Amino acid sequence: MSVNSAPEETLSGVAGGDTPVLERLVAMNLDSMANSGLDEETYHLVRLAALVAMDAAPVSYLINLGVAAEAGLTLERAQGALIAIAPIVGSARVASAAGKMLRAYGLAAALDQPE
């Protein structure tokens, strides 16, 4: 990925997982689940709650929810987590997160489309 690449190409690279930044982010998280002492589902639900609380970018949801789905986290369980944290983080933050999750899934679908 060059410094002069188009913004769309750069964002596609990040979302598609082919950048050094994303590789470093993955490396940072490799041991965090084991070190947390949480079961896998709880671990992913806690991470989802943290993303909502910090008003994370859509690509953060794309990365984290992709891994969570591969681990078996269901949409119903993720929705339950959003309902549980709404009184703490606020309905506006949860609504914002829901929109960002939809954008993340749209981005994922666009990346899966052959050119």
Domain contains 79: yes
Task: Compute the average pLDDT of residues 14-43.
Answer: 77
Q: Which band of pLDDT confidence, cut at 50, 70 and 90, is reported for residue 43?
A: very high
Task: Compute the average pLDDT of residues 49-77.
Answer: 90
Domain contains 2: no
Q: Which of 51, 84, 85 is nearest to 67 (CA)?
A: 51
Domain contains 69: yes
Domain contains 82: yes
pLDDT at position 14 is 61
Domain contains 78: yes
* Higher-scoring residue by pLDDT: 99, 114: 99
Give the pTM: 0.70
Domain boundaries, position 49: 7-112
Domain contains 11: yes
Q: Are 71 and 44 in contact (CB under 8 A)?
A: yes
Count of domains for the chain: 1
